[in-house]
Amino acid sequence: MDTIKNTISFIKDTFNSNEFIPLHEPRFIGNEKKYLMNTIDTTFVSSVGAYVDSFEEMMQKITQTNKAVAVVNGTAGIQVALRLVGVKANDEVITQALTFVATANAIAYNNASPIFLDVDADTMGLSPTAVSNFLEEFGELRDDGCYNKKTGKRIAACLPMHTFGFPVRLDELIKVCEKWNIPIVEDAAESLGSEYKGKPTGSFGDIGVFSFNGNKIVTCGGGGAIVSNKEVLGEKAKYLTTTAKKPHPYEYYHDELGYNFRMPNLNAALACAQLESLDAFLANKRNLAKEYTNFFQKQNIQFRTEMTNTKANYWLMCVELENKAERDIFLKETNAVKVMTRPIWQLMFRLPMYQEFQRDHQKNALFLEERIVNIPSSVRTS
């Protein structure tokens, strides 16, 4: 109990507040109001406008990719990305059970099935070893791709998620997936600003997808982005997310099923201003992570830090407690005094709509589910 009291006191001092301390609240410290008012003045508040174009250019530069496409949210982005790499109805997609539900939902929206494989204990993201072991047991290469010998279905994609902004072991995962002819879509929703071996997350797979939800490191209320180094995929993403409309001065002609997944110019204006502050936000959060590291070392609590050869954005910071009982006490005591903490997500196969899908032992995921707690991680203003 002394450890929890010390933690509560430290967090209140760190955020200089005795009021409610949220998990991660947005900060608007730049040109947000200016750009929003400019958008209103132009009357281009919907899905066409200069700020949509600027946002896509900024994301292309930040992620070091050849094409970026603004979309309405990250979930929609993943849904489209999976379709772009060839996921069809009755296919399967390898992913992790330790993730936010949107990852699995995006697979289901394509009428495909998830295969839930274990995470690495240190990265908390999809384990290349688990993927390799599964494919060695169940994979079968055919002329048109990799098939699951147990279900007879095609394994059409691999969807790792960079948990809380900590990159998965991308080199190893790419090597495994190349061997089995499986394209990778990076769920980089939480990892804007994170790097793996000096390169931005989202730039390694065939496609990467980011989120700009209200609780992300950079937000525009909602919003997302699809990025790719394959320009043909990026162009197709733009086309599909704008209702698959063929360009024409005035005629409406749509030659395949598309989506109205466009980001409004109003949201893009907010996003552009936020992206201008990204470097400052990242530096601010790294300083907070250092302070947490020093504090929790003295409390004999493990604070999660970035792995070798990676740079984490420290979107949501977290501690690992001894067991579920300790976790539950920590959650109860902190939230009782308005210090917001949250457990990691329940594993996807516990949810009613995902209980019946194939999975492996989930050893690390089960361990983490019982122990990981997110703590206040906002950019500090003082």
Q: What is the dihedral of CA 168, 318, 73, 77, to 10 degrees?
A: 10
Backbone angles phi, psi at 357, to 5 degrees: -85, 155
Give residue-wise pLDDT tens across range 204-237: 999 999 999 999 999 999 999 999 999 999 999 9
Judge contact between 85 and 92, C-beta under 8 A: no
| First and final C-alpha spacing in the chain | 29
Q: What is the mean pLDDT of residues 154-163?
A: 98
Domains along the chain with CATH numbers: 2-28+278-375 (3.90.1150.10), 32-276 (3.40.640.10)
Q: Give percent above pLDDT 70 in the chain.
A: 100
Q: What is the mean pLDDT of residues 157-174?
A: 98
Give residue-wise pLDDT tens across range 23-50: 999 999 999 999 999 999 999 999 899 9
The mean predicted confidence, pLDDT, of the chain is 97
Predicted local confidence at residue 353, as pLDDT:
98
Q: What is the mean pLDDT of residues 255-266?
A: 96
Predicted local confidence at residue 255, as pLDDT:
94
Strands 145-148 and 154-159, sheet pairing: antiparallel
Check whether 382 has a pLDDT greater than 80. no
DSSP string, 225-285: EEEES-HHHHHHHHHHHBTTBPP-SS---B-S---B-BPPHHHHHHHHHHHHTHHHHHHHH
Confidence of residue 1 (pLDDT cuts 50, 70, 90): low
Residues 6+ positions from 361 with CB-CB distance below 8 Å: 118
Predicted local confidence at residue 369, as pLDDT:
98
Give residue-wise pLDDT tens across range 70-119: 999 999 999 999 999 999 999 999 999 999 999 999 999 999 999 999 99
Check whether 143 has a pLDDT greater than 70. yes
Strands 342-343 and 199-200, sheet pairing: unpaired
pTM above 0.85, yes or no: yes
Give residue-wise pLDDT tens across range 307-353: 999 999 999 999 999 999 999 999 999 999 999 999 999 999 999 99
Predicted local confidence at residue 245, as pLDDT:
94
Q: Give percent above pLDDT 90 in the chain.
A: 97
